[in-house]
Chain A
Amino acid sequence: MTDLVQTLIDGLGRGSIYALLALGIALIFGVMHLLNFAHGETVTVGAYIAYASLVEMELSWWVTAILIFFGAIAISVVIEFVAFRWVRGAEDFTMLLTSFGVVFVVQAFFVMYAGATVRSFPRPEWADRVWQVGDLNVGVIDVVTIGATAISLAVTAYVLRRTMFGTSLRAAAEDFDAARLMGVRSNRVIRQAFIVAGALAGVAAVFYLMRTGQARPVVGLAPMLKGILAAIVGGLGSLSGAVLGGFVLGITEVVLRAWLPEYLVGLTDAVVFAFIGLFFVFRPQGLIPVEAGERV
C-alpha cells in the first residue's frame, strides 16, 4: 500500500508537467487543428532565461520563475504571429511542417548564440528536500508541482467555463467558422489560445527546469513529446482528456521505473511508447474521445 501511494505521488508530480503541456497542445489543436510540435520551445526559451537569470544576473528563483512564466507566454505569442499566422487555413500537414520548422529555427538560434553545450544552473535548495510522512518519502518538489498544477488547472477551468473569453475559445475550438459567424474575431481568439497555452507551458517549464537545472538547445524536446503523447492518449482536442493523459503518462513512467528490472530501466521511455502503441490498438480514440468528452 505504501508503495502504491508513493508511486502515485511521484507519478502525479511528473504527470503534472505533462498535463499542463498537454492541455496547451489540446487547446491549440482545438482552435487551429494544429499539432504544435513547437510547444516545447517554450521550455527551451525558459531554460535559457533561467540560465541568464540565475547564473549571469544572479537573481533568485522566485524572480526567475516569473521571468520563465512570462517568457513562455511571449515566445508562444511570437511563434503564432511569426510562423503560424501565415499558414492559417492551409492543409493540416503544412501547419505540422511549419511547427517542425519552428523547432529547428529555435534550436539553431540557441546553438549559434549560446552554443550546443549544456549550461547548468542551480536548482532551488528546497527542490531536493524530502518530507517523511510515516513510511512515505514525499518530495517537496512533487508537492509544490502538484499544488501549482491544481491551481493552474482550476484557474484555466474557471476562465474557460465562466468568462466570455473562455466561452469564445471553446466555441472556436468546436467550430471555428461558426464562432466567426457569431462575431468571434479569429486573430484574437487564436492569439488568446496561444497565450493560455504559453502560460500553462510556463508553469510546466518552471517545475521541469527546477528538476533538471540544465539549459541546452534541445531541452524542450522531451517534455514536448510527452505533452503531445499525453494529449493524444487523452483524446486529441479534449480538455479533460489531455489532463488525464498527462497524469496517466506520468504514473506509467514512475511505475515502470520502479518495477522494471534494473537492466531495463534505461529503456523506460521505449517501454512507455510500446505501452502507448498497444493502448491505441485497443482504444484509438483516446481515453476521453472528443464526442463524449468536453471539447476544449
Chain B
Amino acid sequence: MLQINNLTTRYGAIAALRGVSLSVEAEEIVGLIGPNGAGKTTLLNSVAGLLRPAEGDIYLNGERVAGSSPDAMLRLGLALVPEHRRLFSQMSVAENLKIGGVSVGAKERAQLMDECVDLFPVLGRKWETRAGFLSGGEAQQLAVARALMSNPRIILMDEPSLGLAPMLVDLIFDLVDRLRREGKTLLVVEQNATRLLQVADRAYVLRTHEIVAQGRASDLLQRDDLFDVFVGRPRGEGDD
C-alpha cells in the first residue's frame, strides 16, 4: 500500500534521513522505532508532504507521490496524526473535527462526525470545549478523531502516547488495534517501543538516520542489540 524507496531528506546540508526504504501493506500495523533524533518524525513528515525529500521515491497504492503537498496526500487517503497533536487550540472540539473533514462533502462530514463521537464518547461530552482546554488523553483522542474525519485508508501516527498516563497509553494502543480491525492501515512512530511492538505486525528500527533492523514485531522484541531502542539509553548507562 505504501512503499518508500531510498528516501533521503535534508535540512539544509544535513541529512535527517539517508536512503530509507520501507513498505506497509494494507490493514497492517507497522511500527517505526528508534532513539531520539534518529529521523522518525522526519520520515513521517516527508511521507505526509510537510517535507520535500531530496532523493528517493514514495508510492501510495502504486502511484508515485514523493513531493506531493499535504492536502494532496490527504485526498489520496493518507492522514497524519502529528507529533504533539497540533490541535487548533482556540477552536472547539466540533470545529477541530469539522476542519478535519474539509476534504469531504458536507453529508459525509456529518456522518463521520457522528462516527467519531461513537468511537470517542468523551468528545461528544466536550463538543463545545476549546481544544486547548482538553486533558492529554482527550486531546490525543481528538487528534486521532480529526485524522479519521478525512476517512483515510492509511494513518501515520507520530508519538501517540507521548505525555500520557499509563492507563491512557493502553487506551491509545487499544485504539490503534481497533482501527486496524476496522480496516485501516497504520504506520506508527513511538518512543515506547516495547508497547508498540506488542500491537504491531512488523517494525523498522531507525538509528542515526538509517534503517538498521526490520522484521516481525515479536522477533524484534527478542533482539538484545536493540536494548537502547527499547530502554531509551545505551546498555550500562545508568544501570545502577
Within 8 A of A (CB), among B146-167: 146, 149-150
Given A167-B91, A171-B91, A183-B150; A177-B102 close (CB under 8 Å):
no
Within 8 A of A (CB), among B12-44: none
**A120: min CB distance to chain B, Å:** 45
Given A183-B75, A185-B71; A178-B150 close (CB under 8 Å):
no
Q: Which residues of A contact B (CB under 8 A)?
A: 164, 167-168, 170-171, 174-175, 177-186, 294-295
With an 8 A cutoff between CB atoms, is B129 at the interface? no
Are B86 and A175 touching (Cβ within 8 A)? yes
* 27 A-B pairs in the complex with CB atoms less than 8 angstroms apart: A164-B102, A164-B106, A167-B95, A167-B98, A170-B91, A170-B95, A171-B95, A175-B88, A177-B50, A178-B82, A178-B86, A179-B88, A180-B69, A180-B70, A181-B50, A181-B82, A181-B86, A182-B103, A182-B150, A183-B102, A183-B103, A183-B150, A184-B102, A185-B69, A186-B69, A186-B71, A295-B90
Within 8 A of A (CB), among B78-117: 79-80, 82, 86-91, 95, 98-100, 102-103, 106
With an 8 A cutoff between CB atoms, is B188 at the interface? no
Given A167-B95, A177-B50; A182-B100 close (CB under 8 Å):
yes
Are B98 and A164 touching (Cβ within 8 A)? yes
Candidates B70, B90, B95, B106; contact of A181 at CB < 8 Å: B70
Complex Cα spacing A254 to B146, Å = 48
Q: Residues of A contacting B50 with CB < 8 Å?
A: 177, 180-181
Are A178 and B102 touching (Cβ within 8 A)? no
Are B102 and A181 touching (Cβ within 8 A)? no
Dominant secondary structure of chain A at its interface with chain B? helix
Complex Cα spacing A184 to B82, Å = 15
Q: Residues of B contacting A180 with CB < 8 Å?
A: 49-50, 69-71
Given A168-B102, A186-B71; A181-B48 close (CB under 8 Å):
yes
Q: Residues of A contacting B82 with CB < 8 Å?
A: 178, 181
**B133: min CB distance to chain A, Å:** 13
Complex Cα spacing A182 to B99, Å = 7
Candidates A164, A171, A175, A181; contact of B74 at CB < 8 Å: A181
- Of all chain B residues, which has the CB nearest A165? B102
Candidates A175, A182, A294; contact of B102 at CB < 8 Å: A182
Complex Cα spacing A83 to B14, Å = 31
Bitwise, B52-87 to A at CB < 8 A (1) or not (0) is 000000000000000001110011000110100011
Given A178-B82, A183-B102, A184-B99; A170-B71 close (CB under 8 Å):
no
Complex Cα spacing A178 to B70, Å = 9
